[in-house]
Structure formats: C-alpha cells, structure tokens
Amino acid sequence: MPATRTKKFAPEIDAALYEEFIKVAKANGQSQRYVLEQALAHYLHNVVPSQHLVRPEVMGAFEQSVARNRDLLERLAK
C-alpha cells in the first residue's frame, strides 16, 4: 500500500484552543495529527458546504430587511 502524501504546516492558533485540542487528543488516546486532520475534514466537508445552502440574493434581501426593520425588531425583542 503506498504511503499517504503529507504536507507540513505550522499555523499559530489561540492558546486556549490549542490547550483544549491537546487535552482532547490525550483523553481519547489519539495523536494530535489525527485530531487535527479529523477537525479539518469535518470543517471542509460539512461546515463549508452548509454555508452555501442559502442563495446570496436571498441572504442579501434578508439583511436589507433586518436593516430596514431594526427598530421594530429591537422593540419586539424587549
């Protein structure tokens, strides 16, 4: 079986998030690489596609409506 191609990178991330990441990997007996790859795969395959479920013109109309009715929405929220 051929070896998996890899690419080395070294991003800087929030210190608290890093500590949580390390803790999760250790608690689950998983390597940091495995946890990071799973997180990236989940984000790329699940989160990113879901961000495009609503057509841009629909979101634009919604944002215009919210801006136009901001005072009413704030009063209703109270």
Gyration radius from the chain CA atoms: 21
Q: What pLDDT, on the 0 to 100 scale, is given for residue 78?
A: 87
Q: Is the pTM of this model over 0.75?
A: no
Cα angle 37, 42, 43; round to 5: 100
Mean pLDDT of 46-53: 81
Look at the alpha carbons of 37, 43, 44, 46 in this order and tell me if their dihedral is positive or negative.
positive
Please determine, for residue 58, whether its predicted confidence score (pLDDT) is greater than 90: no
Please determine, for residue 52, whether its predicted confidence score (pLDDT) is greater than 80: no
